Amino acid sequence: MTATSALLVIDVQNDFCEGGALAVAGGSEVIAPINKMMESSEISVLSQDWHPEDHQSFATNHQSRNPYELVDMPYGQQVLWPAHCIIGTSGADFHPDLKTGLAQMVVRKGFRREIDSYSAFFENDKTTPTGLDGYLKSRGVTTVILAGLALDFCVYYSAIDAQALGYKVVVETDACRAIDLDGSLDAALSAMRNAGIHVK
């Protein structure tokens, strides 16, 4: 990878891996290929889901609501999730096998209680930035390579936002795993390809 490209490693955290609160099937299988990619990448960035206990995307914070139901929020429809990646818990930690020391930056997202954040670039209102775009532009990055969890949510939203911000975008599906909620995987893959994103 050249200096004009950056590897974005999305949410490889304990709660998204086997045994976690919002486990993605085969989640830990992404770690070995991601570690290898980070070893050859000059710029690597990790994103980290980072929620307060009272986060409004948690089903437990909505009376008579169940996980995976849809609710209307001021910024649009929101999936209600099982409580996960709560600040200061082991579930929010990166998976211990992930070589975090190879990354130059960590972007935390979803820490505002009233709004979820799938993308590593913007919260779900699509206007509140995380600061990642500014960091990458200051490093001269023009291409982003994405890997991690989950392919059909946080990887997908990050890829779409990166494309909209003017980056060339590559998604390494071999280093991703998906939740696949009601066909969300096929929908995400189609949307990315239609947007001109290189889905490998």
Considering only CA atoms, give the Rg of the chain: 16
Active-site entry in 15, 154, 161, 176: 154
Active site residue 11: yes
pLDDT tens readout for residues 136-192: 999 999 999 999 999 999 999 999 999 999 999 999 999 999 999 889 999 999 999
Chain centre distance of CA 3: 22
CA 182 to the chain's CA centroid: 19
Give the separation between CA 131 and CA 140, rounded to whole angstroms.
Answer: 15
pLDDT digits (tens, 9 = 90+) for 84-112: 999 999 999 999 999 999 999 999 999 99
Confidence band (pLDDT; 50, 70, 90) for 38? very high
Helix axes 184-194, 156-164, angle to 10 degrees: 20
pLDDT beyond 80 at 1: no
Q: Tell me the two tokens of residue 61.
A: 């914070």
Has 109 been annotated as catalytic?
yes
Q: Does a cis peptide bond (omega within 30 degrees of 0) precede residue 150?
A: yes
| Catalytic member of 11, 49, 116, 161 | 11
- Tell me the torsion sign for CA atoms 114, 89, 12, 140: positive
* Domains of the chain, earliest start first: 5-51+85-199 (3.40.50.850)
Catalytic residue selected from 49, 109, 116, 133:
109
Task: Give yes or no: 154 in active site.
Answer: yes
